[in-house]
Structure 1
Amino acid sequence: MLGWKIFAHSVRMVFGNLKQVLHITVGPAAIATAVIVVLFVVLDIPLEALDDSADQLPFGTSVGSIFAFVLTLIVVMLITMFWIAVSWHRFILLEEYPSGIVPTFRFDRILAYLGRLLLLGLLFAIAWLPMGLLISALVSVGGGEVVSVVVTVVYSMFLIVCFYRLSIILPAAAIGHPVTIGEAWASTVGVSGAVFVLLVVAFLFQIAIQLIFTALAFIPVLGVLLTVFFGTLILPLINVSILTTMYGIFIEKRELT
């Protein structure tokens, strides 16, 4: 039941604060969009240059300009996502209400958030190495393909559960109260089953939402608006709220309401 309670609480957290959701997300998203538009103009990149099916670059467009645009685009998107995530963590955990047109831009917390995420990615990659070698050995053996698929799925789920157990270091970095990998692991001992249920419920919820989006796509204007609203604002913040809720429960020992 704990996994379901965490998910339900995270959903209520978002829908119960829609005003703050808009305040925290719309401003950074608008700024990011403006920066991308300026990049198009400054680098003089035609839309045809981004067409994957094109055999060659449009006349007057250099590889360097395309590379600069894509690299800057990735940086802008990452900063925007982390800006929103950090602001949301701080709003929920510290009751730091956004003021002004956009939430406070805390570059140090954004860098800390990115650093912790890279650390988790590195740990995930290291943990996958021995399993990758084992799978390669199984595939090389006749009839080992089925076993390798089963092992891959089971081990991947195990790593994802471990990732979420450790991911409470992300909201900790956002609010400036660092939590070590060891502390995160120790604080979530015995809850792997609940985290697994949480992940399954969250996955099924996103599938259901996507099916609804598909049905709404036939409605000219309303369908597009609802798809953008849920797909770019609500669903990502629910995922961020899951980490926020886990931090509150396992680190701050808060009670679910």
Structure 2
Amino acid sequence: MDDGYKMLQHVVRQVFGNLGQAVRLTLFLTAAPMLLLVWLSAQTVPGPDGMPMPEYPGFIFLVSILNLILSAWAAVGWHRFVLREEYGNGIVPQWRGQNVKSYIGRLIILVLVMILIVLAIGIASGALILATQSVLVIWFVAIGIAMGISWVAVRIGLILPAAALGEKMRIAESWQATKPVSTDILVPIVIIAISITVLSGAVEAIFGSTLVGLVLVAGVYWIQILLNLSLMTTVYGMQIEGRSLS
């Protein structure tokens, strides 16, 4: 587990030691769709049939697509900054259309695989929950599923930094490459999840649903995204490129 703690330290240094670049490469792109929705809500722009535009299903779909593209662009930029020291252009990373397209494709595959796993685990655990009908069992099962899904996502998620670099990698190759660190990656996964949960809970308890509270919670989850991206980047650097944690 010592390597797990070293991995966690490396991930935290990677994010907070480069927070300025993180802001330039990812903050605007991840916030833009939400800012668009907030602005349109304030303008009360009507959509078809007089329905407010932000509530119109077609518009929500378009914003979701925009969010996917911008998020992939930000993720590609972050992976490439860490692994290739590639800096951005002002408040956005360099646009690499082919890499972003490949990233989105592999992300969709990853999500579909995770959905199938969740369904399989849900069916299996559902029988246990029905048999025991215990709140404690439900709580432990939910935590176990969340941690298990995160673990699998990292194990097969090296296909994402590979896509950002324009490299080919299959899910099976990612799974095999992460086998030597399969236990170690549990440490950053668990500690990051607990830390973010506690921090976001504290913010909500202190600030409630105020504007300041919403902004701070959004900031906490932005940090979580960066940490998770950096974990995959770190594991990719270790297991594929042979980098050390020093």
Distance 2:203 2:30 in 1: 21
Among 70, 73, 88, the alignment partner of 1:83 is 73
Q: Cα distance 1:204–1:38, how it changes in 2: closer, same or farther (>3 A)?
A: closer
SS of corresponding position for 2:185:
helix
- Structure 2 regions of 5+ residues with no counterpart? none
Contact 1:2–1:194 (8 Å) recurs in 2 = yes
Q: Distance in 2 between matches of 1:154 and 1:19?
A: 35
2:89 to 76, 99, 113: 99
Tell which deviates more after alignment, 121-130 or 244-253. Answer: 121-130
Secondary structure of 1:194 counterpart:
coil
Matches for 1:77-226 after TM superposition, within 5 Å: 77-138=67-128, 143-146=131-134, 149=138, 154=144, 157-214=147-204, 217=207
Cα distance in 2 between the residues matched to 1:228 and 1:125: 26
AA partner of residue 68 (structure 1) = G
Alpha-carbon displacement from aligned partner over 1:119-177 (angstroms, at most 9, x marks no partner)? 1222223334444443455566xx44459746665455434322211111111111111
Q: How does 1:56-75 map to 2 (within 5 A)?
A: 60-61=50-51, 66-75=56-65
- Give the TM-score taking structure 2 as reference length: 0.79
Is the CA contact 1:93–1:244 (under 8 Å) kept in the aligned structure 2? yes
Return the alpha-carbon distance in structure 1 between the equivalents of residues 215 and 57 of structure 2. 33
Q: Distance in 2 between matches of 1:235 and 1:156?
A: 15
Bigger Cα displacement from structure 2, 154-163 vs 82-91:
154-163
Indicate the residue corresponding to 1:242 in structure 2.
Answer: 231
d(CA) in 2 for partners of 1:76, 1:253: 35
> For structure 1, which segment, 6-15 or 120-129, has the greater mean C-alpha deviation from structure 2 after superposition?
120-129
* Contact 1:14–1:237 (8 Å) recurs in 2: yes
Partner of residue 46, structure 2? 45
Q: Equivalent residue of 1:44, what SS?
A: coil
Post-superposition CA distance 1:184-227 (Å, at most 9, x none): 11111142321222211111221343255347639x99x66982
Question: CA 1:193–1:72 in 2, change beyond 3 Å: closer, same or farther?
Answer: same
Q: Is the 8 A contact 1:166 1:181 kept in 2?
A: yes
Mark the CA change 1:135 to 1:100 in structure 2 (over 3 Å): closer, same or farther: closer
The 8 Å contact of residues 45 and 65 in structure 1, kept in 2 or not, is answered as no
Q: Which amino acid aligns with 1:248?
A: G
Inter-CA distance 211–117: structure 2 relative to 1 (3 Å threshold): same
Compute the displacement of 1:29 (Å): 4.9
Find the aligned partners of 2:68 and 2:115 in 1 and give their Cα distance.
Answer: 20
Could you say what secondary structure the match of 1:193 adopts?
Answer: coil
Please state whether the residue corresponding to 2:51 is helix, strand or coil.
Answer: coil
CA RMSD of aligned residues (A): 3.7
Query: How many angstroms does 1:117 deviate by?
Result: 1.7
Q: In the superposition, relative to structure 1, how do residues 82 and 186 fare at CA in structure 2: closer, same or farther (>3 Å)? A: same
Shift of residue 71, structure 1, vs aligned partner:
0.9
Residue 52 of structure 1 is matched in structure 2 by none
Residues 220-253 of structure 1: per-residue CA shift (max 9 Å, x gap): 99x6698268326433212211111111111111
Structure 1 residues 62 and 114: alpha-carbon distance in aligned structure 2, compared to 1, 3 A threshold: same
TM-score (norm 1): 0.76
Partner letter of residue 177 of structure 1?
E
Instruction: Name the CA shift for 1:11/1:156 in 2 (closer, same or farther; >3 Å).
Output: closer
Q: Can you list the C-alpha shifts for 1:4-39, whole angstroms capped at 9, x where unaligned? A: 222221111122112212221344357546755786
Q: Which runs of 5+ in 1 are unaligned?
A: 47-56
Cα contact 2:147–2:190 (8 A) shared by 1 = no
State percent identity of aligned pairs. 32
